[in-house]
A and B are shown apart, each in its own frame.
Chain A
């Protein structure tokens, strides 16, 4: 067991991947000597050289598109998109090519490209640096999407993403990059499968589902609720596509109430999908409608008001009150 930050855990995970898999390589803007704007790739170019840690031209479509070509030649590229709001120049390559080549080729080809995207708000930044576009990708069949919330998962999930034969997007909770935690680098333990949700805290009155940056917020809300005598179960979804509905369903069958929290706007978001599926799977267990806690239907607001936009403990507690009022 070693203690490290999420950023360091991803760095170590990438290091382990580069050492174990000679066909793996990292690509992105400023990921070489600088180590990325968040230093996630710090030191790797020195160890593995510029053919394995590639500072690319400044072009997101180019990064994803050439990564696809490298994958077709048998390589395992891991692309870094510098910030969430800058993935869109690469959106075409991700949705029309990366997601579809396996299907288009009737299974003859596969393109195991990994895309790392630091995402989410709460860092007081300027426009385009605080977004949560995961639902846009989750809507596209052919992609897998995961988001770690702690250093141990961060260490293992990046490696599991590279091992996966399908394209995987890893949404990294950038405001938690400096969150510290224990990492078992020998053994993934319960994190063996990156597409399974984890029940982080057991409870009986309601279930709160979160992922990525809101997992610590959900846990804090559950602790606060406990002081009011409410027993809240917290699930870290971990995988946004596919979603581990079995784990969520089992929890709701026990608690009867479900709250889904994410930073992304609620309209057309992952919370709506979970609400719909759970109302089908656990209709008779539900004591209240599924309640979503998320961003508003607006472009991500300016930093000075992001506190009012981002779901926090109180917003989750308010949703809990509503759920318990039925």
Chain B
């Protein structure tokens, strides 16, 4: 995979330097190479494998990647504000990780199926999930919010790493579908598909990640493991989860592992496209570690000042994924003030739409919850619902507020 930057040269923070020195001591060799095409200075470098993929990005594509990153950052600001105003119970910000999410999401094709964790709002955008619907679960009106069948973007999974196994099983299903199509002489053949499983550096310690990589490797399942190493699992730094770069783990399972500059949208897009092709062609899984940073808090309930220095955050702000692409687009004459003004206006429009829609979301009725426990009729659920109806009916004539309390099950 060519000559890449040693990651120490790239990140330059004392914490990361120490980690890489530790890893080198453990492994007896430089820890990992990092694929980077677009540096923080906005200059495009070369890579023997991935430049070919980057070259496929037209100016239109590049402007699109910028617009997507700007849109999701604006959305993040709006959702945070909605939480502060009490419109959302919680928000999980993604600022800093736009390139990792937009770059990988835009590399996927409609037939691919994506299993996110809970912070992949940028990937959701690339899969055409209605971002207002995405807020439903953070408002407490749904545990899902969108129909994954419409977008091939699965629901958020809050139990860390559980979805990595679902992704591998889904990929095993794709393999079987291909055999069915082959047995039917290609009748009903769909375009080759792959799966992406997102997870974090913290989740990488969960046993399900290990098991999913074992299954994927054994069955050569068409799945791309996409780990966003954003340096923190709430308050715990990555070196508690691993002594070596996470991408190195792939070697132990017997498939390629790539560490990519997660703040370089061009490189992320390139490596993900390569990995998805690899998977779709039946060559098996790939692990991508996107080296990035969670610039904001873990969630709106978190206080990063308790566990990290603001200097670290500043060092990473200097590697901002949007700023470097803007530099590049301007320097190459691919985008001008008019373009950036339009992007800003579009972002404000998206924010207004999301705000409007969030205010309008109606509270659900607990009867809907009764209806969705099982797909087939269930006597206990029916009996408890009947009891609830009778109980609620007892409040019928009373004030609206009392009736509402009964309805909500208080």
Contact = CB atoms under 8 A, between A and B. Distances in A.
Interface string A134-174: 00000001101000000000000000000011100000000
Nearest to B115: A69
A166 B377 CA distance: 10
A109 interface: yes
A159 to B, nearest CB: 15
A73 B165 contact: no
A72 B149 CA distance: 10
B212 A105 contact: no
A66 B169 contact: yes
Interface of A: 22, 25, 51, 56-57, 59, 61-62, 64-75, 77, 89, 92-93, 96-97, 100-110, 141-142, 144, 164-166, 195, 241-246
B214 A57 contact: yes
Contacts of A71: 169
B165 A72 contact: no
A12 B146 CA distance: 41
Nearest to B175: A51
A72 B163 CA distance: 12
Given A68-B165, A68-B169, A105-B148, A61 B143 contact: no
A106 B162 contact: no
Lowest 9 CB-CB distances: which A-B pairs, in order? Answer: A69-B169, A65-B165, A73-B173, A66-B169, A62-B211, A69-B170, A69-B166, A165-B375, A59-B211
Given A51-B179, A109-B148, A165-B375, A73 B169 contact: yes
A62 B375 contact: no
A65 B174 contact: no
Interface in B146-179: 147-149, 154-155, 157, 159, 162, 164-174, 176-177, 179
Contacts of B148: 105, 108-109
Nearest to B147: A108
A104 B143 contact: yes
Contact of A59 (B170, B215, B372): B215
A215 B33 CA distance: 64
A144 B214 CA distance: 29
Contacts of B64: none
B376 interface: yes
A74 B173 contact: yes
Contact of B211 (A61, A69, A96): A61
Contacts of A65: 162, 164-166, 168-169, 208, 211-212
B111 interface: no
B282 interface: no
A270 to B, nearest CB: 13
Interface of B: 113, 142-144, 147-149, 154-155, 157, 159, 162, 164-174, 176-177, 179-180, 207-208, 211-212, 214-215, 218, 368-369, 371-376, 378-381
Contacts, number: 140
B371 A107 contact: yes
Nearest to A97: B162
Nearest to B159: A96
Contacts of A93: 162, 165, 208
Main secondary structure of the interface of B (DSSP, over half): helix
A25 B180 CA distance: 14
A62 B176 contact: no
A72 B166 contact: yes
B208 A166 contact: no
19 contacts: A56-B215, A61-B211, A62-B215, A66-B168, A67-B169, A68-B166, A69-B168, A69-B170, A69-B173, A72-B166, A73-B173, A97-B157, A102-B374, A102-B375, A105-B148, A106-B368, A108-B148, A109-B149, A246-B379
Nearest to B149: A108
Central interface residue in B149, B374, B380, by most chain A CB within 10 Å: B374
Given A92-B208, A97-B157, A242-B378, 9 more contacts: A57-B214, A65-B212, A66-B172, A75-B176, A100-B143, A103-B373, A105-B148, A107-B372, A109-B149
A93 B215 CA distance: 15
Central interface residue in B113, B207, B215, by most chain A CB within 10 Å: B215
A267 B117 CA distance: 37
A22 B176 CA distance: 10
Central interface residue in A75, A105, A107, by most chain B CB within 10 Å: A105
A93 B149 CA distance: 21
B157 A242 contact: no
Contacts of A64: 165
